[in-house]
């Protein structure tokens, strides 16, 4: 995953970053309108750009797909393989509607959905190298941290981790602890959402770059 290209190009996708309420390119607006979800058009533009920066053979993997908004955005953004993990635990969860949405946007050939708990799937399934990992599932501190820990061994080098609802204190605690514990991880950008006066970024996004060959990689995790 070309993390530096992604970070370089991200601001240019908006007239004023991060203050613009929509991206310049409105191609994902119909997706937002057609598929129920818990992300804004700006979040989708970021996901799509990240997916477009994947390296050969790398996958976009997300935990928490709901009806497919972010998963389809990744496929439309250029992910050759986009994998959504969801345990369908929301009261109105509906795997059939998720599958139908994926088909409706013509992404069935490159999207795969795995039904299961995010951490269990990351630990037990044979997944391709993950260039972009988007975490948008259980937002408790323990579940967020467990998923970030579980994905470590599956990440490409370099890779990008995107954390949704990042400004929620219980999510932030997990992200900060993960970054502090892993020399390979660096918090590169913290985008404020509703709490920071930017509801067009939902509840914020944290962008963590993962470089296995960072000077300290290979040493024991801190903390």
Indicate which single residue of 18, 32, 39, 132 sits in contact with ligand SAM (rule: CB under 6 A): 39
Smallest gap, in angstroms, from Cβ of residue 61 to ligand SAM? 12
Vertex 17, ends 12 and 19: CA angle to 5°?
A: 150
Cα distance between residue 211 and residue 137, in whole Å: 24
Half-sphere exposure of 207 (CA within 13 A, CB side): 18
DSSP strand pairing (59-63 vs 130-135) = parallel
Residues 178-197: x where in contact with ligand SAM by CB under 6 A, - otherwise, as a string? --------------------
CB-CB contact of 47 with 74 (8 Å): yes
Q: How many beta carbons lie within 10 A of that of residue 148, not counting itself?
A: 26
Both tokens assigned to 190? 């913290």
Cα distance between residue 60 and residue 112, in whole Å: 10
Q: Is residue 65 involved in binding ligand SAM (CB under 6 A)?
A: yes
Q: Is residue 41 involved in binding ligand SAM (CB under 6 A)?
A: no
Of residues 89 and 219, the one with the C-beta less far from ligand SAM? 89
Q: Is residue 133 involved in binding ligand SAM (CB under 6 A)?
A: no
Smallest gap, in angstroms, from Cβ of residue 157 to ligand SAM? 25
| Helix pair angle (69-77, 95-104), 10° resolution | 30
Cα distance between residue 140 and residue 147, in whole Å: 11
Indicate which single residue of 49, 50, 59, 63 sits in contact with ligand SAM (rule: CB under 6 A): 63
Indicate which single residue of 138, 149, 184, 206 sits in contact with ligand SAM (rule: CB under 6 A): 138
CB-CB contact of 49 with 85 (8 Å): no
Q: Is residue 60 involved in binding ligand SAM (CB under 6 A)?
A: no
Q: Is residue 85 involved in binding ligand SAM (CB under 6 A)?
A: yes
Of residues 46 and 185, the one with the C-beta less far from ligand SAM? 46
Of residues 40 and 184, the one with the C-beta less far from ligand SAM? 40
Contacts with ligand SAM, residue ranges (CB under 6 A): 37-39, 63-66, 69-70, 85-90, 93, 117-118, 136-138, 143
């Amino acid at each position: 995953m070309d993390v530096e290209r992604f970070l370089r190009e991200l601001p240019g996708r908006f007239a004023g970053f991060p203050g613009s309420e929509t991206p310049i390119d409105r191609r994902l607006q119909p997706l937002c309108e057609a598929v129920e979800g818990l992300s804004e058009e700006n979040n989708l533009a970021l996901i799509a750009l990240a997916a477009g920066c994947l390296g050969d053979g790398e996958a976009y993997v997300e935990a928490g797909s709901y009806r497919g908004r972010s998963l389809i955005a990744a496929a439309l953004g250029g992910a050759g393989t986009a994998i959504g993990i969801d345990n369908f635990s929301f009261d109105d969860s509906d795997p059939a509607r998720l599958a139908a949405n994926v088909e409706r946007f013509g992404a069935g050939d490159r999207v795969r959905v795995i039904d299961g708990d995010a951490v269990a799937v990351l630990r037990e399934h044979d997944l391709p190298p993950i260039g972009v990992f988007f975490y948008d599932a259980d937002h408790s501190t323990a579940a967020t941290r467990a998923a970030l820990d579980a994905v470590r061994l599956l990440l490409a080098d370099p890779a990008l981790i995107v954390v949704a609802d990042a400004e929620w204190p219980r999510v932030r605690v997990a992200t900060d602890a993960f970054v502090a514990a892993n020399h390979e991880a660096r918090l590169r950008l913290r985008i404020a959402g509703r709490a920071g006066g930017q509801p067009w970024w939902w509840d914020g996004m944290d962008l963590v770059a993962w470089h296995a060959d960072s000077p300290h990689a290979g040493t024991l995790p801190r903390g």
